[in-house]
Amino acid sequence: MEHSKSDYLLGILPEKEEWVQQMETYAKEHRVPIMDSVSMNFVMQLIRLKKPARILEIGTAIGYSALMMAEAAPLAEIVSIERDEERYRQAENHITGQGRQDQIRVILGDALDELDTLRESGELFDWVFIDAAKGQYRKFFELAEPILSDSGVIISDNVLFRGLVANPEKAHQRHRKMVEKISSYNRWICSHSGFDTSIVPIGDGVAISVKKGRG
């Protein structure tokens, strides 16, 4: 029986703590979109290397990725934005359950509004993780850029969207516009003069954009 690369990598990851397994099981059963394990492990490793002091997440869902990032950067301050009230409450419960409420602050609201509020408040972040409405990725990126420190990193998840970005002809009618937007976003970030971007074909596709320092 032939195994995929992802299956192989999943098989050699360290055993997960019970709370992680429970969150992943809940997400699967209730169709909550969370980052796949291999990609999450990759992002956690990047965080360990970068050691960001402040992390901003766009799209909290049930708090899975925020908690995993907290595991990788236990001293970092994490701010996460979620517009769905039910998921916001679930995230709060999960974060409190892991004793991370002093490290992770979840904001209930639309990221398009809340990012402006953070900018007006003079907030600055070393790391931004975008994992929300795919059609809004460019707007999220543009709003996050002014509050990103020099040499800061913006991570965008799902940028290959089930392989359909590379093979748009295979996309169902209901997904075609989204696939077009993601493809356009990928071209835009890869040619952005203020960032160096690399797209890694891991999981559903992860884009790593590093802000160029001044001077």
110 is in an annotated binding site: yes
Note the pLDDT of residue 214. Answer: 66
Q: Which residues contact 91 (CB under 8 A, 6 or more apart)?
A: 60, 61, 62, 63, 66, 80, 82, 106
**Positive or negative: CA dihedral 53, 57, 60, 64:** negative
Strand partners of residue 195: 211
Record the tokens describing residue 66, joined without a space.
Answer: 């925020």
61 is in an annotated binding site: no
**CA-CA distance, 103 to 76, in Å (whole number)?**
7
Whole-prediction pTM value? Answer: 0.93
Strand partners of residue 120: none
Note the pLDDT of residue 176. Answer: 84
**Positive or negative: CA dihedral 22, 34, 197, 164:** positive
Q: What is the CATH number for 124?
A: 3.40.50.150
Domain limits for position 41: 5-211
Q: What angle do CA 77, 143, 59 make, to 5 degrees?
A: 55
85 is in an annotated binding site: no
Which of 165-183 are b and which e, b meaning 16 or more Cβ less than 10 Å from the residue's Cβ? beeeeebeeebeebbebbb
Note the pLDDT of residue 115. Answer: 97
116 is in an annotated binding site: no
Note the pLDDT of residue 68. Answer: 98
| Residue 111 φ/ψ, nearest 5 degrees | -60, -30
Digitized pLDDT (tens) for each residue of the chain, 215 residues in all: 556 777 888 888 888 999 999 999 999 999 999 999 999 999 999 999 999 999 999 999 999 999 999 999 999 999 999 999 999 999 999 999 999 999 999 999 999 999 999 999 999 999 999 999 888 999 999 999 999 999 999 999 999 987 778 777 777 777 788 888 999 999 999 999 999 999 999 988 999 999 997 65
Note the pLDDT of residue 142. Answer: 97
CA–chain centroid gap for 72, Å, is 14
Note the pLDDT of residue 2. Answer: 56
Report the phi/psi class of residue 99: left, alpha or beta, with left for phi > 0 and alpha for psi in -120 to 50. left
Which of 127-140 are b and which e, b meaning 16 or more Cβ less than 10 Å from the residue's Cβ? bbbbbbbbebbeeb
111 is in an annotated binding site: yes
Note the pLDDT of residue 157. Answer: 94
102 is in an annotated binding site: no
- Total domain count, the chain: 1
158 is in an annotated binding site: yes
157 is in an annotated binding site: yes
Note the pLDDT of residue 166. Answer: 73
Q: Which of 71, 129, 78, 69 is nearest to 103 (CA)?
A: 78
**CA-CA distance, 37 to 59, in Å (whole number)?**
17
